[in-house]
Amino acid sequence: MNLFLFGLLICVSSSSTSAGKVRYDNYTLYRLTPKNEREVNLLKNIEESNPSGYDFWTSARSVGTPVDILIPPQSGNALRTISSMFGMHTEVLIENIQEKIDQEAGSLEGSGDFDWTKYNTVEEINQWLESLVDKYPRIVTLIKGGSSYENRDIIGVKVSYSSKNQNKAVWIDSNIHAREWIAGAVNTFILNEILTNKDIRNVAESHDWYIFPVINPDGYSYTFTKVR
């Protein structure tokens, strides 16, 4: 990529931090789909040059595989210029990501109890795990895997229907990538199914399950309170 293109990518530093959470007003999520190796390499070069404020949700991998990039408002023109110079297929997936963050934040203000109609904080998830031990004392054991850098407990559970310790173990952890909230939601959902779904008794009871919904509690917490 030539210097001119790099020059286009440079932009004023990004998001306004007020006292609380970082905001992403008018940040736009673009989807670029490279149609040949040249465009794949262009996208790789852009990611490697790490332009300020660009957030690659997916990396360029191969021809035809879409690449999603969140871009600050002041950089939108530059990106559109580059992609149109190359004739690269470009679409806007989300015009203003802050609107989505606000919608999501509204849905977080639930009862404070754990459920699957909202995303749960690490505290809500840990409380729910502890409640499972009370509810299924012979089946669920709490495991404190350790402490995080910021001194949060890294909590998981073992689910075992057999005391013989001969079952094959299944390990499922999530939210090591802190902002991928959906992963922890899926993981806790699986845990709930293992405990409650009558249709999967066989698989549930023939394995020992080790489940850690939030293996990176500091990062997870950070995405709730500081930077989504």
By the criterion CB under 6 A, which residues form the site for ligand NAG? 25-26
Q: Work out the angle at residue 115's Cα, subtended by the Cα atoms of residues 136 and 101, and round it to the nearest 5 degrees.
A: 150
Q: How far is the CB of 40 from ligand NAG (least distance, A)?
A: 32
Closest listed residue to residue 27, CA positions, set 68, 77, 64, 71: 71
Using the minimum distance from each CB to ligand NAG, give the nearer residue, 26 or 167: 26
Q: How far is the CB of 180 from ligand NAG (least distance, A)?
A: 26
Using the minimum distance from each CB to ligand NAG, give the nearer residue, 92 or 203: 92
What string of DSSP letters covers 100-156? HHHHHHHHH-S-SS--SSSPPPHHHHHHHHHHHHHHSTTTEEEEEEEE-TTS-EEEE
Q: How far is the CB of 23 from ligand NAG (least distance, A)?
A: 7
If one counts every other C-beta atom within 10 angstroms of the C-beta of residue 226, the result is 11
The residues facing 147 across adjacent strands are 153
Using the minimum distance from each CB to ligand NAG, give the nearer residue, 21 or 158: 21
Q: How far is the CB of 24 from ligand NAG (least distance, A)?
A: 9
What string of DSSP letters covers 57-104? SS---STT--EEEEE-GGGHHHHHHHHHHHT-EEEEEES-HHHHHHHH
- Only one residue has tokens 């950089």, namely 75
Centroid of chain to Cα 9 = 26
Instruction: Give me the residue whose beta carbon is nearest to ligand NAG.
Output: 25
Using the minimum distance from each CB to ligand NAG, give the nearer residue, 72 or 213: 72
Q: How far is the CB of 25 from ligand NAG (least distance, A)?
A: 3
Using the minimum distance from each CB to ligand NAG, give the nearer residue, 76 or 110: 76
Using the minimum distance from each CB to ligand NAG, give the nearer residue, 18 or 151: 18
Q: How far is the CB of 90 from ligand NAG (least distance, A)?
A: 19
